[in-house]
Amino acid sequence: MTGIKITETVFRDAHQSLIATRMKTEDMLPIAQKMDKVGFYALEVWGGATFDACLRFLNEDPWERLRALRKAFKNTKLQMLLRGQNLLGYKNYPDDVVEEFIKKSIENGIDIIRIFDALNDTRNISKSIEATKKYGGHAQAAISYTTSSVHNIEYYVNLAIEMEKMGADSICIKDMSGILLPYVAEKLVRELKKNIRVPLEIHSHFTSGIANQTYMKAIEAGVDIIDTAMSPLGMGTSQPATEPMIASLEGSEFYPDIDMNLLLEITDYFKNLREKYEKEGLLNNKVLTVDVRTLKYQIPGGMLSNLVSQLQQQGALDKFEEVLEEVPRVREDLGFPPLVTPMSQMVGTQAVLNVISGERYKMIPKEVKNYVKGLYGRPAVPIKEDIRKTIIGDEEVFTGRPADLLEPQLEKYRNEIKEYIEQDEDVLTYALFPQVAIEFFKFRQSKKYRIDNQLLDNENMVYPV
């Protein structure tokens, strides 16, 4: 082995985890040239919640962000996170929308697309893998890691073998809750490396305080790539911090080919940026503390804060512990889905409703009903008959690929927004977030947007001296 490879997440998951995805493009570009020279394997810069947040909160065009970053990063691969058939939204989209979205993502600068499904239902990632390869991208299939009576090493090895057969160029263990224990990781990585030929990456969060140790055991077991975040926006509910993780490997065969002096200059930039976010009230210290409840309840940091918010709105914050106890029960009822978008929202909301209504499944959201009907895919464990009857009665359960129920929509979307279209990508923006997109398109026509947007064309911003 010639050293571990590093995927840096500071421009995507780090700020999504710590400051609700509020980092602006103008905060990214001044440091881009230095980051491009460090020696990172890849930079995760797009996907996840960044697309929605750009439009909804920052009045930015996510496609323009991607183009600006591609222009700035000449030597480093750019990576994005894609929710399989959900793309960057919260429901399944038709195959024509999925294919066009992936085509445009690659055209605008993405090299690696990390593709996952919340249920690990490979039917929900097949189209995305196929399209990524068709348009020349690197298709990384991600395992949504969780634990249950069926989610064991054999389950994950079989899943990875299936993903490789589907054409995955690499596999990622995506531990969104930070619950993958160090010695389990060691065994899992060893078994995966025995059974797959493509590179293996590990992605975790520091929420429970164990991810550093997990990474070290995974590295020793032969993992090829790790995901880390620059220390000012690392740890907490973010990834393990980049600089100390690299320093920990000094003197070993795993030490990466990274310019550490340059990395420390970049740390200073992000320290100043973090101070700015703290002054703006974007960084809550709660997300920086270790929460060991994660290990018991398997609840990701973002989901914990959502549960608190839901209970506050209902004036029922005193029920928080009850809800934490209810989450694993609901998860078992629903076939042990991994707690990642959109399943984390469904399980969490159902747990809150079960507790505050005083009766389990007295109130059931439409999304939970659709999930039980099979419209999101296949759970790892069949849902028990009594639970299914409680939630959907005698309604039929669909057992096919959910996207097969969807008609092509691209032309319909194009016709609906023809008065706003300034680029081909606008149709995709509208397809994912119709109401938010229309508001943004109206804002884009304003003079203020035109003036602010000149920043992205400023060569000194993109390539600072």
Residue 304's pLDDT band, with cuts at 50, 70 and 90, is: confident
Omega prior to 62 cis, within 30 of 0 = no
Question: Residue 455: what pLDDT?
Answer: 54
Q: Compute the half-sphere exposure of residue 106: CA atoms within 13 Å on the CB side of its CA.
A: 20
Q: Which helix (H) or strand (E) holds 294?
A: helix 293-297
Please give the Cα distance from 205 to 235 (Å, whole number). 7
pLDDT over threshold 80, residue 453: no
> How remote is the C-alpha of 135 from its chain's centroid?
22
Residue intervals of the chain classified under CATH 1.10.472.90 are: 291-400
The CATH class for the domain spanning 291-400 reads mainly alpha
pLDDT, tens digit, 9 for 90 and up, residues 87-116 = 999 899 999 999 999 999 999 999 999 999
pLDDT, tens digit, 9 for 90 and up, residues 120-166 = 999 999 999 999 999 999 999 999 999 999 999 999 999 999 999 99
Please give the Cα distance from 445 to 455 (Å, whole number). 17
Please give the Cα distance from 420 to 423 (Å, whole number). 9
pLDDT over threshold 80, residue 465: no
Residue 459's pLDDT band, with cuts at 50, 70 and 90, is: very low
Q: Is 11 left (phi over 0), alpha (psi -120 to 50) or beta?
A: alpha
Question: Residue 341: what pLDDT?
Answer: 83
Question: Residue 299: what pLDDT?
Answer: 80
CA separation (Å) from 369 to 100, 312, 323, 344? 30, 25, 20, 15
Q: Are 55 and 438 in contact (CB under 8 A)?
A: no
Helix 425-432 to helix 50-57 angle (10° resolution) is 90
**CATH architecture type of domain 5-279:** Alpha-Beta Barrel (3.20)
Among 143, 178, 219, smallest CA distance to 302 is for 178
Alpha-carbon dihedral of residues 101, 452, 284, 365, nearest 10 degrees?
-40
Residue 462's pLDDT band, with cuts at 50, 70 and 90, is: very low
CA separation (Å) from 11 to 80, 110, 233, 240, 302? 10, 14, 10, 15, 18
Q: Are 140 and 112 in contact (CB under 8 A)?
A: yes
Q: Are 391 and 369 in contact (CB under 8 A)?
A: yes
Please give the Cα distance from 247 to 322 (Å, whole number). 42
Residue 460's pLDDT band, with cuts at 50, 70 and 90, is: very low
Residue 247's pLDDT band, with cuts at 50, 70 and 90, is: very high
Residue intervals of the chain classified under CATH 3.20.20.70 are: 5-279
> How remote is the C-alpha of 101 from its chain's centroid?
17
DSSP-assigned beta bridge partners for residue 7: 42, 227
In this prediction, residues 181-192 reach a mean pLDDT of: 98
In this prediction, residues 367-387 reach a mean pLDDT of: 95
Among 147, 145, 163, smallest CA distance to 203 is for 145
pLDDT, tens digit, 9 for 90 and up, residues 396-430 = 999 999 999 999 999 999 999 999 999 999 999 99
Among 247, 248, 228, 246, smallest CA distance to 238 is for 228
Residue 386's pLDDT band, with cuts at 50, 70 and 90, is: very high
In this prediction, residues 29-52 reach a mean pLDDT of: 97
Look over the chain and give the mean of its residue pLDDT values, rounded to a whole number.
93
**Which ranges of 60-204 does DSSP label H, i.e. alpha helix?**
62-72, 95-107, 126-134, 153-165, 182-195
Question: Residue 456: what pLDDT?
Answer: 56
Q: Which helix (H) or strand (E) holds 51?
A: helix 50-57
pLDDT, tens digit, 9 for 90 and up, residues 330-365 = 999 999 999 988 899 999 999 999 999 999 999 999
Q: Are 77 and 112 in contact (CB under 8 A)?
A: yes
Among positive and negative, which fits the CA dihedral 302, 308, 312, 314?
positive
pLDDT over threshold 90, residue 310: no
Residue 294's pLDDT band, with cuts at 50, 70 and 90, is: confident
- Core vs surface per residue 234-254: b (16+ CB within 10 A) or e: bbbbbbbbbbebbebbeeeeb
Please give the Cα distance from 48 to 417 (Å, whole number). 24
pLDDT over threshold 50, residue 461: no
